[in-house]
Amino acid sequence: MPIDKITLSDMAMAKLDWAAQRHKVLSQNVANADTPGYKARDLDKFSFKSILQQVAPVEVTRTNPNHLKGTLPGQDRFATHKIPKTSEMSPDGNNVVLEEQMQMVSDAKGAYSTAITLMSAEDRLMKLALGKNGG
């Protein structure tokens, strides 16, 4: 899809996907808060570059036309990274700080809500353009 065809809803949907994946990563951190040696992870910040990479996704190469197209194994669309060491690392090497994780979950919820608001606004604009009052 050419860059000029990326719509507001495409960008909002990508932001929704990012927020959902971040929530998944953060929930794994919380679930492993007492696991010895567990290192907390987080997603890289959402960026327009990540949207462009999703527009032209990598496809599996077929070396023979008779091969099935197939799919890439379940890959998350956004890169994760380890959270840097904090001053609150436990003696067993676990660096999950529940208060920090809850703050990051709250941030992800805010990003999700913003994307939903954008999608709703675009929907209302479309209805207005079509002459429908939406109610």
* Residue pLDDT, tens place only, 70-93: 655 555 567 777 776 665 777 788
pLDDT tens-digit series, residues 91-123 = 788 888 888 899 999 999 999 999 899 888 888
In a domain, 69, yes or no: no
**pTM reported for the whole predicted model:** 0.66
Q: How many domains does the chain have?
A: 1
- The DSSP string of 31-68 is HTTTSTT---EEEPPP-HHHHHHHHS------SSTTS-
Using DSSP's 3-state secondary structure scheme, residue 82 falls into strand
> Residue 48 belongs to what domain range?
3-60+76-129
Residue 113 forms part of a structural domain: yes
Residue 135 in domain: no
Residue 92 covered by a domain:
yes
Please indicate, yes or no, if residue 66 is contained in any of the structural domains: no
Residue 36 lies in a domain: yes
